[in-house]
A and B are shown apart, each in its own frame.
Chain A
Amino acid sequence: MAQIGSFALLLALALSIYSFGVGLLALFFPGDPLWERLGETARRAGVVVFGGVFLAAVALVVAAFRNDFTIAYIFHHSNRDLPGRYKFATLWSGQEGSLLFWSLLLAGYGFVLRLRYKTDPRLFAYASVVLAGVQIFFLSLVNFAANPFGLLEGPLRADGSGLNPLLQYPEMVIHPPMLYLGYVGFTVPFAFALGALIMKYPGEKWIHITRRWTMVTWGFLTCGIFLGAHWAYAVLGWGGYWGWDPVENASLMPWLVGTAFLHSVMMQEKRGMLKVWNMWLVFFTFWLAIWGTFLTRSGMIASVHAFAQSAIGTWFAWFLGISFAAFLFFFIKNKDHLKSEHKLESLISRESSFLFNNLLFVLLCFTVAWGTWFPKISELVQGNKVTVGAPFYNRVAIPVALLLLILTAVGPLLAWRKTSFESLRRNFAWPTLGAAAVMAFLMITPPSWGGPFGLRPWQDISYFYSLMAIGLCVLVTLTIASEFYRGGKVISGHTGQGMFASLVQLTHRNTRRYGGYLVHFGVVVVIIGLAGAAFNQDKESEKGMDYGDKMTIGSYTLVCRSYTQDDGPNMASEWAVIDVYQGDKKIDTMNPVREFYKASQQASTKPDIRSSLKEDLYLVYEGQNEKGLPIIRAHLNPLVMWIWLGVIIILGGTALALIPNAPAPVRIAVPARRMEQAVPAVTGD
């Protein structure tokens, strides 16, 4: 397998170089039949690259299933008794494999792109060359710097050292692919953007072509980030889902800039504005995805995600530098091509809201990057490292996020060019009153009601933030609802349909707009869930529990029924059986587990979580106390389920926005006399 994999990777690299070199030369000689034929061979070589990388990936997975411990990567990331799905996940479990996986996905995107070249052959040829350039970098890495098929030195080992226990969780089989599909996918819009810049592509067609790629990629990245958060919540056992770790930050930064791009690209489509800005946004989204990888693999920044600190950081640094220089060169050379076609007319307009929206997204990205790098900067300036953890990010990022939420409410309802105060008043009066009423209600109700009640913003800054977040969420929801309602009412008035049918028709007629609203609503639901973190300050208990012992947390009473052990080939486990009561009624039985993985000689906890819309009961099995009793730690985490629900809505909205619009009915004015004549013919008998 090692030989097959290594050969396939070399072949793929050679084909990529051919695709890049010959494709580039073909672009220099447009109209020359010979070079056009050669350009076609370059495109085909790009298609075949996918076959080569796919073969290498299959070879690695087969090696994992065949327990081929002669391959160092398989030895370090697998073992004989590892369940099949995790053997499959070996492909992206370590540095070399994940770089191969990155190459595979890039080749996959390139495969699809090169097969669809007839849409616009010349633009696609440019994009294909850019993709081939990026592909060369990754294939060089896996061939020369981080080869997944490197052989293990020394005597043949009977068994591998196993997969990291934290990765042995079903979500880890889908989280990295989703995240990587997001990371890698942003190469495609970048390739088109750079191609359009180099060839001074007229019009905005390249944006229409890349819109789906961008949205699909953004959807994957969103899904990947939240799957990671859910994995942290369900596996790490600390009761949280986001720790502002550098690796988490690395995935967030391209997402933030990518989201800014998805918004501002509308300015270019509709008004021919922000062309320069969009070029830089799409470049930085791509660049940040690579930069994040550099950040976590160079060893420059300490992270809980213990990736190897190898020499590949230097490769990434070079690639980042070269790609930046190349982009800057073409930008300076061709920037005159990117002049805006219209001017901005008013501060209160859709255009302005997009500008502010972009500013805030980019600023959030800058803040995250600043916090991630500050320990290094501090070390350089004052000689000692500092930690920049959650308290810092929560203080500096939340105000910006709240401003973004205001724009989410206001922006979509502003008119292009200019919005009158009368229109503002008409659109926002009721939603604002509604939001104010909800905020007042949350403040005056007693805390004993539980949940988000009794929020006294003057007591704690986190309460202030939570109150503002909930108030703004209500505002956004009401503005979205009013948009749907007004549209539905108009259609209902024209067609005589019921409101529900009208709303369906409305959404189907402009899927992008109403899909976007749905995404905004999903964000609202996520923020409600995030705001819940402010309410769990005191809801945590820990106890060594004998059989029959009780522990109370919130409205729940936990009774320890038994304590059990199990021994399997891959791992041994021990867990407590906890009956959960509310009042006198037993509502559930929970099994928090601790697992001990034999191959890696490492342990891991797997909390058991009982979720409801109001709160999560989160039980962690912490081990045994000195008397041999299971120690159970219980958290009550309010509103967490809203986060996962919100993500589903966001992804649903993204999918909706990808569906083509239904054609709008065309109304034809027919003279009354002809109508009268026509009636018998239409009705027939």
Chain B
Amino acid sequence: MLTRPKQILTCGLLSLAVFALTGAGDPATRFKELGHQMMCICSCNQILLECNHVGCPDSDGMRNELMAAVSRGDSDSLVEQSFVQKYGPTVLAAPTKTGFDRTAWIVPFVALALGLTLVVMVIRAWKNRPTPAIADGLRPVRGAELEQFRDQARKETDL
């Protein structure tokens, strides 16, 4: 027997799943999604469903193949595999998430994480740096006096 909070949580998750999966199995939607994950092989370097150059020898045939596969009810991975077997791996518009191809996806996010860490470290290191020396005769301003100057500067540079 589920407790009340768990019942609410379950209902919520089920509702989300219903929302999320609505339309996912629709053949037209699948055709669009798959067609946007593949390239036309006519060397135009365009997404299959966006290739429109006049007299393209390949896009019509590929679209028909895709439509036939979707109508047969082939799974997404089966459709992709059959296209890869027939046209080679360059038919997929993006690297797969297996093997070495995975690095294509991972590297940008690793770089982002490393970059953010690096910037935070740089800021911390700079914060702890000694204050640069000031010319003779001037004394550093600190504490309340510094805050007063800052407030004044903010007001005066407001425009």
Known: A378-B101, A391-B93. A347 touches B45 (CB 8 A): no
Known: A344-B123, A490-B159. A622 touches B52 (CB 8 A): yes
Q: Hey, which chain A residues are within 8 Å of B70, CB to CB?
A: none
Binds B, one of A22-30, A210-218, A381-389: A381-389
Q: Which of B36, B43, B127 has the most CB of A within 10 A?
A: B127
Q: Hey, which chain B residues are within 8 Å of A490, CB to CB?
A: 158-159
A429 within 8 A of B: no
Whether the pair B127, A491 counts as a contact (CB closer than 8 A) is: no
A456 within 8 A of B: yes
Binds A, one of B2-10, B72-80, B111-119, B136-144: B111-119
Per-residue CB contact flags for chain A residues 93-104 toward chain B (1 = under 8 Å, else 0) read 000000000000
Q: Hey, which chain A residues are within 8 Å of B28, CB to CB?
A: 538
Chain B residue at minimal CB-CB distance from A352: B123
Whether the pair A395, B105 counts as a contact (CB closer than 8 A) is: yes
Which of A243, A384, A537 is B32 in contact with, Cβ under 8 Å? A537
Chain B residue at minimal CB-CB distance from A397: B108
Known: A417-B150, A459-B20. A620 touches B111 (CB 8 A): no
Whether the pair B46, A238 counts as a contact (CB closer than 8 A) is: yes
Whether the pair B159, A390 counts as a contact (CB closer than 8 A) is: no
Q: Hey, which chain B residues are within 8 Å of A374, CB to CB?
A: 95, 104
Whether the pair A391, B94 counts as a contact (CB closer than 8 A) is: yes
Whether the pair A367, B111 counts as a contact (CB closer than 8 A) is: yes
C-alpha spacing A603/B56, complex, angstroms: 11
A529 within 8 A of B: no
C-alpha spacing A459/B22, complex, angstroms: 8
Shortest A321–chain B CB gap in Å is 24
Whether the pair B55, A343 counts as a contact (CB closer than 8 A) is: no
Which of A240, A388, A397, A458 is B19 in contact with, Cβ under 8 Å? A458
Whether the pair B54, A366 counts as a contact (CB closer than 8 A) is: no
A487 within 8 A of B: yes
Shortest B78–chain A CB gap in Å is 19
Q: Hey, which chain A residues are within 8 Å of B46, CB to CB?
A: 238, 243, 304
Which of A238, A343, A386, A538 is B51 in contact with, Cβ under 8 Å? A238
Whether the pair B108, A391 counts as a contact (CB closer than 8 A) is: no
The count of chain B contact residues (Cβ–Cβ below 8 Å) is 58
A303 within 8 A of B: yes
C-alpha spacing A594/B55, complex, angstroms: 12
A189 within 8 A of B: no
| Residues 90-113 (chain B) with a chain A CB within 8 angstroms | 90-96, 99-101, 104-105, 107-109, 111-112
Whether the pair A243, B108 counts as a contact (CB closer than 8 A) is: no
Q: Hey, which chain B residues are within 8 Å of A371, CB to CB?
A: 104
Chain A residue at minimal CB-CB distance from B112: A363
Whether the pair A487, B159 counts as a contact (CB closer than 8 A) is: yes
Q: Hey, which chain B residues are within 8 Å of A510, CB to CB?
A: 159
Whether the pair B132, A343 counts as a contact (CB closer than 8 A) is: yes
A85 within 8 A of B: no
C-alpha spacing A10/B47, complex, angstroms: 45
Which of B93, B105, B150 is A389 in contact with, Cβ under 8 Å? B93
Which of B22, B55, B104, B124 is A388 in contact with, Cβ under 8 Å? B104
C-alpha spacing A397/B108, complex, angstroms: 9
B14 within 8 A of A: no
A434 within 8 A of B: no
Whether the pair A367, B108 counts as a contact (CB closer than 8 A) is: yes
Known: A341-B132, A378-B95, A392-B104. A387 touches B39 (CB 8 A): yes
Whether the pair A396, B115 counts as a contact (CB closer than 8 A) is: no
Known: A304-B44, A347-B123. A459 touches B19 (CB 8 A): yes
B58 within 8 A of A: no
Per-residue CB contact flags for chain A residues 232-244 toward chain B (1 = under 8 Å, else 0) read 0000111110010
Per-residue CB contact flags for chain A residues 364-378 toward chain B (1 = under 8 Å, else 0) read 001100110011001
Whether the pair A486, B99 counts as a contact (CB closer than 8 A) is: no
Per-residue CB contact flags for chain B residues 119-159 toward chain A (1 = under 8 Å, else 0) read 11011101101111000000000000000001000100011
B89 within 8 A of A: yes
Whether the pair B45, A355 counts as a contact (CB closer than 8 A) is: no
Whether the pair A415, B154 counts as a contact (CB closer than 8 A) is: yes
Chain A residue at minimal CB-CB distance from B127: A344
Known: A345-B127, A366-B111, A633-B52. A386 touches B92 (CB 8 A): yes
Per-residue CB contact flags for chain A residues 331-344 toward chain B (1 = under 8 Å, else 0) read 00000000011111
Shortest A382–chain B CB gap in Å is 5
B65 within 8 A of A: no
Whether the pair A304, B119 counts as a contact (CB closer than 8 A) is: no
Q: Which of A371, A418, A633 has the most CB of B within 10 A?
A: A371
C-alpha spacing A245/B46, complex, angstroms: 9
C-alpha spacing A418/B151, complex, angstroms: 12
Q: Hey, which chain B residues are within 8 Å of A399, CB to CB?
A: 112
Q: Hey, which chain B residues are within 8 Å of A623, CB to CB?
A: 54
A263 within 8 A of B: no
C-alpha spacing A345/B125, complex, angstroms: 10
Shortest A271–chain B CB gap in Å is 11
Chain B residue at minimal CB-CB distance from A391: B94
A67 within 8 A of B: no
Shortest A362–chain B CB gap in Å is 8
Whether the pair A486, B104 counts as a contact (CB closer than 8 A) is: no
Q: Hey, which chain A residues are within 8 Å of B37, CB to CB?
A: 391
Whether the pair A396, B109 counts as a contact (CB closer than 8 A) is: yes
Q: Which of A374, A537, A622 has the most CB of B within 10 A?
A: A374
Per-residue CB contact flags for chain B residues 1-44 toward chain A (1 = under 8 Å, else 0) read 00000000000000010011010000011001000110100011
User: Could you list some 19 contacts between A and B, CB below 8 A?
Assistant: A236-B53, A237-B52, A243-B46, A342-B132, A343-B131, A347-B127, A352-B123, A355-B122, A356-B119, A371-B104, A386-B89, A389-B39, A391-B36, A391-B93, A391-B94, A459-B20, A491-B159, A538-B32, A594-B54
B residues adjacent to A (C-beta < 8 A): 16, 19-20, 22, 28-29, 32, 36-37, 39, 43-47, 50-55, 88-96, 99-101, 104-105, 107-109, 111-112, 115-116, 118-120, 122-124, 126-127, 129-132, 150, 154, 158-159
Beyond A347-B123, A386-B101, A387-B89, 13 additional pairs, beta carbon < 8 A: A343-B127, A346-B127, A370-B107, A385-B90, A387-B91, A388-B95, A396-B109, A400-B108, A417-B150, A486-B158, A622-B52, A622-B54, A664-B159
